[in-house]
Amino acid sequence: HNWLPSAMVAPTPVSALLHAVAVVKAGVFCISRVMLSVFGTELLSSLNLGIYTAYFASFTIIMASVIALTQDDLKARLAYSTVSQLSYIVLGVALLVPTGIVGGIIHIINHGFSKITLFFCAGAIYVATHKKLISELDGIGYSMPFTMGAFALASLSMIGVPPVAGFVTKWYLVQGCLDIKELGLVIVLMVSSLLNAGYFAPITIRAFFPGRGGMGRIRERFHEAPATMVVPLVLASIISFLVGIWPDFFVELIGRILP
């Protein structure tokens, strides 16, 4: 998957397009269509290919999350997060049960809004401060409260904290794993959520609650990026929150295409 993190050097709008909307989503959409429409759930179940695919996706979820923990470059951490998050979609579809498939497909939507928020925030931070490294973001929440507030909300969605959109994904995925009695996959989802928290929470904590060594950076005269950048990222984070509260429209829409 190293092509995806390498692509994060592109300008922020392009990175957001690559990681949240178009390119990567086309891949998982094709996988979903091939599994559900070409092979079908009955054939995949009879050959046990669904469960093998689910565990393969689980390996990617964990490994990409571990790599994300090691990244100090903000966009690189978000890029490896994308590798992990896309595997949730494959995992859900590979469960081959309605609850799992709903969880996988709805994550295309949930991840789109949340991850585009995160990349927009990374771009706004760079425009306002010219900083790329997480270790340089001590106290930045005081200078850029709207940007970092939106970042925190989108991070909660990626972690799967209710009532943000990502929680809906993980709720359905856990239900799907329980439906097929695969407790190992439930454990993977729990561990991955902890890893998500491990690489997202420190960014927000560092921004709003810097340690003693970072207090001096609060005095740096930074300010929010232009409104043309801040307004879209705030709106995207609000949509991510609203989808978590009212997911019924998308759940019903996905239900119509279930095999």
Q: Which of 154, 174, 31, 28 is nearest to 97 (CA)?
A: 174
- The amino acid at residue 162 is P
Answer yes or no: is pLDDT of 100 > 90: yes
Answer yes or no: is pLDDT of 3 > 80: no
Task: Looking at mean pLDDT, say which of 10-24, 95-109, 199-213, 214-228 comes out highest.
Answer: 95-109
Q: Taking each helix axis from N to C terminus, what angle separates 227-245 and 165-179, rounded to the nearest 10 degrees?
A: 40
Q: DSSP assignment of 126-174, as one string?
A: HHHH---BGGG-TTHHHH-HHHHHHHHHHHHHHHT-TTSHHHHHHHHHH
Token pair for residue 89?
Answer: 């979609």
Answer yes or no: is pLDDT of 188 > 80: yes
Bridge partners of 73, per DSSP, are 133
Q: What is the pLDDT of residues 146-176, one digit of tens each?
A: 999 999 999 999 999 999 999 999 999 999 9
Q: What is the pLDDT of residues 220-239, one digit of tens each?
A: 667 899 999 999 999 999 99
CA 244, CA 162: separation in Å to the nearest integer? Answer: 7
Question: Which residues make Cβ contacts (< 8 Å) with residue 41, sequence separation at least 6?
Answer: 50, 96, 259
Answer yes or no: is pLDDT of 66 > 70: yes
pLDDT of residue 9: 64
Token pair for residue 250?
Answer: 């998308």
**Across 94-107, average pLDDT:** 96
Q: What is the pLDDT of residues 35-47, one digit of tens each?
A: 999 999 999 999 9
Q: What is the pTM of this model?
A: 0.91
Let me know the angle formed at the C-alpha of 154 by 150 and 160, rounded to the nearest 5 degrees.
150
C-alpha dihedral (16, 17, 21, 27), degrees to nearest 10 = -120
CA 220, CA 136: separation in Å to the nearest integer? Answer: 12
In the chain, where are the structural domains located?
A: 3-255
Question: Which residues make Cβ contacts (< 8 Å) with residue 4, sequence separation at least 6?
Answer: 18, 19, 24, 79, 82, 83
Task: Looking at mean pLDDT, say which of 56-65, 135-144, 203-212 comes out highest.
Answer: 56-65
CA 225, CA 113: separation in Å to the nearest integer? Answer: 20
Query: Residue with structure tokens 């799967």?
Result: 160
C-alpha dihedral (64, 65, 69, 70), degrees to nearest 10 = -10
Question: Which residues make Cβ contacts (< 8 Å) with residue 151, sequence separation at least 6?
Answer: 117, 118, 121, 203, 204, 207, 237
